[in-house]
Amino acid sequence: MAKCVFKGVATALITPFAEDGSVNYDKLAELTHTQIEQGINALVPCGTTGEKSTLRHEEHVRVIETVVKAAAGRVPVIAGTGSNDTLYSVELSQAAVAVGADALLTVTPYYNKTSQSGLIEHFTYIADRVTKPLILYNIPSRTGMNILPETYAALSRHPMIAGVKEANGDFSAMARTRMLCGEDFAIYAGNDDQTLPVASLGGAGVISVLSNLLPGQMANLTALALGGDFAGALRLQNRLLPLMNALLADVNPIPIKAAMTLAGFAAGRCRMPLAAPSPALTGRLRQEMAALGLAVN
């Protein structure tokens, strides 16, 4: 398997949009700088939080390139390049590598769901055709497709497959994955509120939504958890938990973009079909952010 891409916290970056709905590349570069300055260990453009599904191919590649240039080698950039079309995932992965991505995040196929053997073929086909490591992305709530521990075991033997962003919430399965794959296969929490339990199972960190807004606090939480200070990590996670829960109150990234806007960052609204945040959600976010001492517009 490939060498671990990062340990700690990676931010699943939002994609800022201007009022006309176009990508605001200047704000994206600004966000990249802020994240790194506040201690983030890696950056993930064009994931679920980055609204990958509504980015045109040219936008997708330019978003990755913008983050790569702004990061300037300070932290790894892990580009979201998954697709339910294996050949297109290869095309997008190769384009991401060409503009400087350090690794690739590849989600399970969605809609035209496949079998476990199909997953092995799909990810192996991509991994055979790229020169940067793959981090698999398992999020059954979005795709209707779950990767089993035995499938991870088969895939972990590939020299370009480095780990997984695990968002299935099945801790028993994660423990079995760790047992079957060994310590060199990196398991990252796919949900902020699972940072601590995944670390306790030998995980390598988290790919975080909340860190768009609170990069320093998520970096601290992850460092505590990975350092074995589970009591300290639990105290901080419990403090952040109400806001973590609020960010799950609507379809990601609607809540995080609303929270960023409340904090004064011009995130823009999500592209359709995602709707604008409801007044109830906005009020809840405002309340939880204020409880953490954040200045709220």
Convert the pLDDT of each residue in 194-211 to its tens digit: 999 999 999 999 999 999
Per residue in 223-247, pLDDT (tens digit) is: 999 999 999 999 999 999 999 999 9
CATH of region 8-228, choose from 3.30.300.210, 3.20.20.70, 2.70.150.10, 3.40.50.300: 3.20.20.70
Under the banding of pLDDT at 50, 70 and 90, the label for residue 214 is very high
Q: Is the dihedral of CA 40, 134, 114, 57 positive or negative?
A: positive
| pLDDT at res. 253 | 98
Tell me: cis bond preceding 273? Omega within 30 of 0 counts. yes
| pLDDT at res. 2 | 76
In percent, how much of the chain has pLDDT > 90?
A: 98
Per-residue pLDDT, averaged over 30-43, amounts to 98
Q: Where are the beta strands (DSSP E) in the chain?
A: 8-12, 42-44, 78-80, 103-107, 134-138, 161-166, 186-189, 205-208
The CA radius of gyration of the chain, in Å to the nearest whole number, is 18
Cα(214)–Cα(260) distance, integer angstroms: 10
Q: Which listed residue (27, 52, 132, 165) is catalytic?
A: 165
Structure tokens at 246: 């609020």
Average pLDDT, the chain: 97
What residue spans of 38-79 are helical by DSSP H? 57-71
Per-residue pLDDT, averaged over 47-74, amounts to 98
| pLDDT at res. 297 | 84
Cα(155)–Cα(117) distance, integer angstroms: 10
Under the banding of pLDDT at 50, 70 and 90, the label for residue 1 is confident
In percent, how much of the chain has pLDDT > 70?
A: 100
| pLDDT at res. 217 | 98
Active site annotation includes 137: yes
Amino acid identity of residue 237, one-letter, is Q
Domain extent listing, the chain: 8-228
Distance of CA 73 to the CA centre of its chain: 19
- Checking if the pLDDT of 22 tops 90, the result is yes
Q: Which listed residue (25, 132, 137, 152) is catalytic?
A: 137
Burial of residue 266 (number of CB atoms within 10 Å: 0-12, 13-18, 19+): middle
Cα(227)–Cα(288) distance, integer angstroms: 28
Per-residue pLDDT, averaged over 61-79, amounts to 98
Q: 163 — alpha (psi -120 to 50), left (phi > 0) or beta?
A: left
Under the banding of pLDDT at 50, 70 and 90, the label for residue 3 is confident
